[in-house]
Amino acid sequence: MIAFSPTEEQTLIAETVKRFARERMRSVFREAEESSELPWEVVNKGWQLGLLSAAIPEDYGGLGDAQPTVTGALAAEELGWGDLALALAIMVPGLVALPILYAGTEEQKRTYLPRFSDEGYPKVTAALIEPRFRFDPAALETTAVRQGNEYVLSGRKAYVPLAAGAELFLIYAAEKGQTQAFLVERGAPGLTVGERERLMGVKALDTYELALDGVRVPASARLGGDAGIDINRLLNHSRVALAALAVGLARGAYEYALEYAKNRVAFGEPIAQRQSIAFMLAEMAIEIEGVRLSTWEAAWRLDQGEEATRECVLARQNANAMALMVADRAVQILGGHGYIREYPVELWLRNARGFATFDGLAMI
């Protein structure tokens, strides 16, 4: 039976993250956006909540959550409510740790996973997205060619978060047409971090293009060893994470617009009493709840070990459209104020626009 009632422990985690988002993230997110710089004190505090460590089994130094994906979805929603750029930054280490957990060899797990339970923020990142039209994670142009006991990686990547300071990269590349992943240490000859990208939204999160010109790594760097990875399984965990973040962002925009409409008086009455405004707010709330439930179902099925690609894809696609609709409606409800940077809804609209391009940029 599917049960969506959070456990006592999950409720406590969600409430802790919600309090962090309200008190710490919401106090700095606009300044971070305007300066295009991450407030690392807040990011480090977010990391120290131990959300990723909770998903790692005790054998590898973690806490061994029995339902890590559902718990991760609950936490990601609250982080997305706080601020999307900061949420993505806090979740970057999971882009390396979770693929190792889900697909790595026993040696890779014992070598790398313990570092993700330390108090210090791990300097790691992952590179999946490519700077080209019709990018497809299952048909990458970045290649991995086996030469003896080594692999040679060549290609270009984009949207690589925090790459300038990363010491370990998880690089996705096509080996004989199949997407695989490789652990690459910083300083590998041929690995070049490009200029910081200039984005429409999530401007506080620094992302970079990455060039791989004949980068050589040992065969042992191939994630999963001879078995390799199941890219669709990893994408499912990313789809659920992004859907949960979208729910959080949309919930923030809805709540702000609702409060504004209740307090904004025009022609002698709050605008929330106008049918056109009331109907928009109702539709926003309905869509948020619907996507939240589909996200929880997808997360639950992943924790049960079920094949959940259909549920994960639907949650992600619906979340992309829902977040954009809700943020756009929030701008409309604020009227002229919605277009002014003094109010956060324009920021949420720009951030919501990016969800359709964030493949693999978050994972739970």
pLDDT digits (tens, 9 = 90+) for 3-32: 667 888 999 999 999 999 999 999 999 999
Share of the chain above pLDDT 70, in %: 99
Domains and CATH numbers, the chain: 8-117 (1.10.540.10), 124-227 (2.40.110.10), 231-357 (1.20.140.10)
Give tens-digit pLDDT for 213-241.
Answer: 999 999 999 999 999 999 999 999 999 99
* Average pLDDT of the segment spanning 272-287: 95
So what's the pLDDT on residue 3? 65
The helix (H) or strand (E) run that includes residue 157 is strand 150-161
Give CA–CA dist 112/104, Å, rounded: 10
**HSE-up of 244 (CA within 13 Å, CB side)?**
31
Q: How many Å apart are CA 243 and CA 247, to the nearest integer?
A: 6
pLDDT in tens, 133-161: 889 999 999 999 999 999 999 999 999 99
| Phi, then psi, of 285 in degrees rounded to 5 | -65, -40
What is the reported pLDDT for 1?
53
Q: What is the largest CA-CA distance in the chain?
A: 79
Amino acid at 45: K
Band the pLDDT of 281: cuts 50, 70, 90: very high
Q: How do residues 335-354 score in pLDDT, each as one tens digit?
A: 999 999 999 999 999 999 99
Q: What is the mean pLDDT of residues 54-82?
A: 93
Q: Which of 52-66, 170-184, 195-209 has the lowest mean pLDDT?
A: 52-66
pLDDT at residue 2, as a whole number? 63
